[in-house]
Structure 1
Amino acid sequence: MIGLLIAAILATQASAGPSPDDAQAQGQAALEGMTKIFTTLGSCERHFTPEQVKGVKRGFTPAAGQAPTPLQAHIAGAYERGKADTSLSAPVCQEMMRLLAEQKKR
C-alpha cells in the first residue's frame, strides 16, 4: 500500500512539468537561440534573394497597424545588429536558409 502511494506521488511530481526555475532556464535558452539565429540571418542578408529577406523579416514584422511585441522588437534588433557582420560567405548563408526551410517543412 505504501509502495503504491509513493509511486502515485512520484508519478504526480513527474507529470507536473518542469519547475519554474527549469522553465525559466528553458525559455532563456530558447530566446538566446533565436537571437543567435536572427543575428546570423542579419549577417547573411546581403547574400539572400529579396524573397528570402522578405520571408526572414516576416518572422519579426508585426501585423499591419500593430506595434511590435517585445519579442519581435528583440529579434528585429538582433537581425539589424547581425547586418554589421560581413564575415559569413554566400555558401554558408544559403546552407543556413536550406536548413531552416527543411525545419519549417517538419
Structure 2
Amino acid sequence: MESKQSNQFILFRKDDEEITDDIEPVKAISRITSNQKNYCIIHKVILNGNIDIYITYKKNKEGQYEFLRGFMYKNNCEFQITSCPIYSSLQIGSFGYDNIMICYYNSTPL
C-alpha cells in the first residue's frame, strides 16, 4: 500500500441492515497512518460529518492485505467495525459507484 491520500466513497450499514436503493454513500479522505511489515492502519475522515474511522489490515501469506479490525468514532461514541469490503465498482439502485467501501458496524457503542 502506498503512503498517499486518496478519496473514496463509504456506505455505512449496521450489521443487520441490507443495502437498499434509498441510501447514499458519503465521501471520505483516506491516508495511511502506520505502515509496518505485516500490517497497516488507515485513517478515514468523512467530509460531510463528524466521523473518523481507523481500520487495521494485516498482510496474509500471499502478500495481500486483509481486514483485521476497525473502529468508528461518531458523536463522541466509539463503534466496532465488523467488516469493510471494498468494491472497484458497485451499483446501488440506478447509481453506480467506483472504489466504494461498505462499512458494517455494530450499532451498540463500546
Tell me whether the two structures share a fold, i.e. TM-score over 0.5. no
Query: Which one has a bigger Cα radius of gyration?
Result: 1
TM range, smaller chain: under 0.3
**TM (normalized to structure 2)?**
0.23
**TM (normalized to structure 1)?**
0.24
Structure with the higher fraction of residues in helix conformation: 1
Structure with the higher fraction of residues in strand conformation: 2
